[in-house]
Chains A and B, each alone.
Chain A
Amino acid sequence: MKIVLKQVNLLNPEQKLNLKCDLFIEDGVIRKIGDLKPEDLKSSKVYEFENKYCVPGFVDMHVHLREPGREDEETVVTGCNSAAAGGFTAVASMPNTNPDTDSAEIVRFIKEKAKDHLVDVFPIAAASLGRKGEALAPMYELYEAGAVGFSDDGVAIKSSLVLRHAMEYAKMFDAPIIEHCEDESLADGVMNESVTSTILGLPAIPNVAEDLIVIRDIMLAEFTGAKVHIAHISSKNAVELVRQAKKKGINVTAEVTPHHFTLTDETVKTFDTNYKMNPPLRTRADVDAMIVGLKDGTIDCIASDHAPHSIEEKEMEFIYAPNGIIGLETTLGIALSDLVHKKHLTIEQLVEKLSINPRKILNIPQVIIKEGEIANLTFFDPEQIWTVDITKFKSKSKNSPFDKRLLTGKSVAVINKKKMYFEDKFFDI
């Protein structure tokens, strides 16, 4: 099948590509970049995408797909649908499934479920058996089955010895250890520790619970020479620790979620459980530090930490509600509204944070926009104004604090694996 995307802004900072022209795709492969003559358009389906950006497909490197185990909250397929709707052509799925993703069978199961979907799923496997932090998971086997990184997400790898071994082991195949940085003994709380938690009388988690594990992990990464990736960074000091570590040449990278660069712990005053997540929403100073970290490159990527939960689980007393919110369908809009339109990041930088850098960290081949290459592309309109409506989400869950938020910038379409998602529908191209 032939399709033509008229007058798109082709942008890929990795190839120094920035060009406005037509794009001709046949059977999922880019055939021509450049303005087409009217006769070329005859047998093709034509999309008028003037002023839409066309960039290497976005990757969300921190997503909970909930399958196997909690298919009532999300499945591999519904999570991928949500990703496509949000402008992503790939996600990395976290291993806190039930059973945990600590065996090759589960990795293969997840990959099998995603096989026919437009969206690529790259499983992150557990670093330790049962994510207990006591004994190594079969990492080589997991890697061979398709795992691209290792994490005990939900918690930090408990034992420093196990972490050391996981790092040394993962280094053999250059896979990152992805850490949820939190010192458990300091983290017996349900929100950030600040004057707000004092006023609300809620048990709280101080920034230092994150900082301590970030520094431990950085020191061990330096010691072992392995790659460590700091998941959902949220504390101001942690950003500074990563900045200094990068200056020293230590192999550390970091991601931040849209909620951590936009929302503060003051939102918890509503006692709305959609403001309950881990790490918790921090203070204004932390939010500002996230933006500075994104600008100066300390923070490499934006990831949603998409964490679906059922309505009955979230509609609960604050201290009992589970942590987490979904984000696949709001990340791009928030990033464009709060980072690009507020002049903190350029569109090129945003593409690095959402596409180039996650691929580098996970060793996924970069997408090249060139004649003869497979089309793996995200199309977005940075100026489209829209209102978030959780009832329209493709995700099975609705737990988002961004419902009714007015955003500027939205995904228009995605293309990957000879498939296209456009106007709420998937079809082969």
Chain B
Amino acid sequence: MSLSSRHLLGLYGVPREDIQLILDTATTFREVLERPIKKVPTLQGKTIVNLFYENSTRTRISFELAQKRLSADTINFSTSSSSTKKGETFKDTVRNIEAMKVDMIVVRHQSAGVPQYLTKISKANIINAGDGLHEHPTQGLLDMYSIREKLGRLEGLKVCIVGDVSHSRVALSNIFGLKSMGAKVSVCGPATMIPTGIESLGIKVYHNINEAIEKHDVLNVLRIQLERNAGVKIPSLREYHQYFGITTERIEKYNKDILILHPGPINRGVELSSEVADGPYQVILDQVTNGVAIRMAVLYLLGTMHN
């Protein structure tokens, strides 16, 4: 079994069998992570560059750990400044790195489309670790893995993505991935945070959080990204929490069987109350552990393909 593409650019248009294969492979690696020696020789001799043009702590650490546990050689290239400010073009940077003979590039960038662009200027396998507001496919995969781990399936589940959907690459990767796996996906948030035309993708839109809790099996609660200027779309964080925040009272009143996911980092008291963030309905730290297993699976499947 192998994947149908030698890159992971997003979950848009990725066939169900590919997602299934990644999730199943991750199960094997998840088991490796429980061993006393958490390392396998699978990618020995492979060189991977983590090309991060945007600040990231957890995603980069997660990828790096995954690479180390597969015994790959890992190099980190991090810069928060864009290529335009730095003087060297992005293309020249990539060509320089590639000239050092790398096998795979994990890329995070402020601009949507950079992973696609990379496939045109580099021969390496490209993995998207987040491009602008476009996609964050490994996050989508680890969310699906976490749901499946907890509820045993994805097919037929009702999943609602809550919050600033229009500023979220996590939302898009979840939407594309979950739909391809046969889940029913909806979104809930203030009207200013729902992107144009999302209904035409077969997504139901809710503006009432109680209704969203009541009618779904899973809520994937997004972070209100103040760093992305989400503030202009809502009057205040206080008002957001009042009308869209997930609290224990709401869960206990409307749906005690709900499963809560959050991609982190959490704004406590905004999208989730502290009680919910630490409570019995969430799997937030499992998501983090599963993230390493998912990234190992993706790196393994792409890194061992015959190009």
Contacts and interface: CB of A to CB of B under 8 A. Distances in A.
A38 interface: no
A317 B82 contact: yes
Interface in B24-43: none
Contacts of A270: 116
A192 to B, nearest CB: 10
B152 interface: no
A315 B195 CA distance: 28
Interface string A267-280: 00011000000000
A195 interface: yes
Contacts of B114: 317-318
Interface residues of B, number: 29
Interface string A127-155: 00000000000000000000000000000
B172 interface: yes
Given A199-B201, A201-B134, A319-B112, 16 more contacts: A194-B197, A195-B196, A197-B195, A198-B172, A198-B201, A199-B172, A201-B131, A203-B133, A270-B116, A271-B116, A316-B83, A316-B89, A317-B109, A317-B117, A318-B114, A318-B117
Contact of B135 (A194, A201, A320): A201
B75 interface: no
Contacts of A271: 112-113, 116-117
A200 interface: yes
B89 A198 contact: no
Give the interface residue-count category, chain A.
20 to 34
B176 to A, nearest CB: 9
B197 A320 contact: no
B91 interface: yes
A204 to B, nearest CB: 7
Nearest to B134: A201
Given A317-B114, A320-B83, A202 B134 contact: yes
Contact of B113 (A203, A204, A317): A317
A315 B90 CA distance: 9
Interface of A: 193-195, 197-204, 206, 270-271, 312, 315-320
A383 to B, nearest CB: 36
B57 to A, nearest CB: 22
Contacts of A320: 82-84, 111
Contacts of B91: 315-316
B132 A195 contact: no
A325 to B, nearest CB: 17
Interface string B83-98: 1100001110000000
B248 interface: no
Interface string B154-180: 000000000000100100100000000
Contact of B111 (A195, A206, A318): A318
Nearest to B165: A198
A200 B201 contact: no
B200 interface: yes
> Among A202, A270, A319, which residue has the most Cβ atoms of chain B within 10 A?
A319
Contact of B83 (A194, A197, A317): A317
B46 to A, nearest CB: 26
B198 interface: yes
Given A193-B196, A201-B134, A317-B117, A312 B112 contact: no
Nearest to A191: B112
Contacts of B112: 200-202, 271, 318-319
A198 B109 contact: no
B110 interface: yes
Contacts of B82: 317, 320
23 contacts: A194-B197, A195-B196, A195-B198, A198-B197, A198-B198, A199-B172, A199-B201, A200-B112, A201-B131, A201-B172, A202-B132, A202-B133, A202-B134, A206-B196, A270-B116, A271-B117, A312-B89, A316-B89, A317-B82, A317-B90, A317-B117, A319-B112, A320-B82
B12 interface: yes
> Among A199, A204, A317, which residue has the most Cβ atoms of chain B within 10 A?
A317
B133 A201 contact: yes
A318 B196 contact: no
Given A200-B112, A201-B169, A316 B135 contact: no
A202 B132 CA distance: 7
B185 to A, nearest CB: 14
Interface in B179-199: 195-198
A320 B132 CA distance: 12
Contacts of B134: 200-202
A177 B304 CA distance: 62
B195 A198 contact: yes
Nearest to A201: B134
A282 to B, nearest CB: 13
A197 B90 CA distance: 23
